[in-house]
Amino acid sequence: MIKKTPKQKRLEEKILSHLKQKAKEVAEYIFKDEEIQVLQDYANTVSIKRLGFNDHGPVHMRKAALNALKMFDLLHESGIKFNLEGEKLGTVEDSQVSVLIASLLHDVGMSSTRDHHEIIGIMIAEPIIQRILDAIYGKNVQRKCILKSMVVEGIFGHMATEKIYSLEAGLVLIGDGCDMEKGRSRITTLLSQQPRVGDIHKYSASSIQKVNILPGNKKPIKILIEMSQSAGFFQIEEVLFPKIISSPVKPYIELYGQVKNKDMMQYL
């Protein structure tokens, strides 16, 4: 029996609103899959209770997916071709499927450990990815092999520690980085009463009021970070900015940060 919070359900509805046909089938399959839900829940338990980190569970992975899908739509509407289409290996829908699966599975490695969790996550996710693709793509071996490799690239590259080359994987990376609003750090802030090294991450995250993903002024994507205080700039500069710089999607992004009632700062 899958138990989900109201927040998870709301995010699933928003994700489904961006999807059609195969991509929607994939999302519905994942949202009904008990093994995926258990892995996401356990990854969150390990992250928050065992390691004292922030949310790396089902809500985070859904937010990361939603962020990536918003940017996917903006790129597509601007006429940008994704790698699968440009290389004549698949369709726009196939690219969307790869972004969706990778985003919804990118942190399952946190169910084991933080260190190299992107690599461990691939090991854990591999049979699940295959099962999803078998269910949706049937006997199309070529398409399944290509999409599986692209999903693996998305999971492998989401920490910005390894070089990635596709726009699809680049969206997974930035979608993950954009989940930085204060709610993500709320639980660890409540649980941790003693000061410790690394608290700047927690308190800077608490300063992030809203992450807006919008059409850009000169580029397809505009990311605007609204903050309650200047500590939030640390979160932009140390968490999100390095991910954007490492992403093949960087040429298509404008990045801004703004403290309430103060001038906007442009990074890109």
Sequence-separated (6 or more) residues with CB below 8 Å from residue 70: 18, 213
pLDDT score, position 187: 39
pLDDT score, position 55: 75
Global pTM exceeds 0.75: yes
* Whether the predicted pLDDT of 198 surpasses 80: no
State pLDDT tens for residues 139-171. Answer: 999 999 999 999 999 999 999 999 999 999 999
State pLDDT tens for residues 174-191. Answer: 999 999 887 554 434 444
Distance CA 110, CA 216 (A): 34
The CA-atom distances, in angstroms, between 254 and each of 63, 134, 172, 217 are: 20, 38, 17, 8
Determine the residue type at 152: V
Determine the residue type at 91: T
List phi, psi (to 5°) of 186.
Answer: -60, -45
Q: The tokens of 47 are what?
A: 């992250």
CB 99, CB 203: distance < 8 Å: no
10-16: average pLDDT: 98
Percent pLDDT > 90 in the chain is: 79
CB 137, CB 144: distance < 8 Å: yes
State pLDDT tens for residues 207-230. Answer: 899 999 999 999 999 999 999 988
Sequence-separated (6 or more) residues with CB below 8 Å from residue 49: 191
Q: The tokens of 11 are what?
A: 């995010």
Sequence-separated (6 or more) residues with CB below 8 Å from residue 23: 93, 96, 97, 100
> Which alpha helices (H) appear in the chain, and where do they start and end?
6-17, 21-31, 34-45, 58-77, 83-86, 92-105, 117-137, 141-156, 167-177, 186-191, 199-206, 232-235, 241-246
Parse the chain into domains and list their residue ranges.
Answer: 6-175, 182-266
